[in-house]
């Protein structure tokens, strides 16, 4: 039986993201780690992540980030505008996102990773 791959959309500066990777490692899971700030998802990948998460684009936005405050806080964003904002500024994506077997979770708290197993 094939082992399902695990992918982590990761920001090394984020303690929750580092903790999610550590939890996976402690469970013996080897994950593909994607530094989404260096390799941001395409529109299609981001839309697929949202589908797997069962979230709208606006729900995945980090509204406390300085770039959000500077560029987007003056009005409520539509889902398309939220998607465009995350494509333009990947730092606005909530993290970490862990994907396995067609399902995904935002690992906040980190133990949410275990929902995929």
Active site residues: 14
Peptide bond into 109 cis (omega under 30): yes
Q: Counting every residue, how long is the chain? A: 117
**Residue 55 to residue 49: CA distance in whole angstroms:** 9
Q: Which helix (H) or strand (E) holds 100?
A: strand 97-100
Q: What is the token pair recorded at 98?
A: 């862990």
Burial 75-110 (b: 16+ CB within 10 A, else e): eebeeeebbebbbebbbbbbbbbbbbeeebbbbbeb
């Amino acid at each position: 039986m094939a082992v399902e791959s695990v992918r982590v959309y990761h920001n090394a500066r984020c303690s929750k993201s580092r903790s999610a990777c550590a939890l996976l490692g402690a469970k013996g899971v080897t994950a593909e780690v994607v530094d989404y700030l260096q390799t941001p998802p395409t529109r299609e990948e981001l839309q697929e992540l949202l589908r797997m998460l069962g979230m709208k684009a606006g729900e995945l936005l980090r509204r406390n980030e300085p770039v959000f405050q500077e560029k987007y806080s003056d009005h409520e964003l539509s889902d398309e505008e939220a998607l465009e904002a995350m494509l333009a500024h990947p730092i606005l994506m909530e993290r970490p996102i862990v994907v396995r077997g067609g399902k995904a979770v935002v690992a906040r708290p980190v133990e949410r990773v275990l929902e995929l197993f």
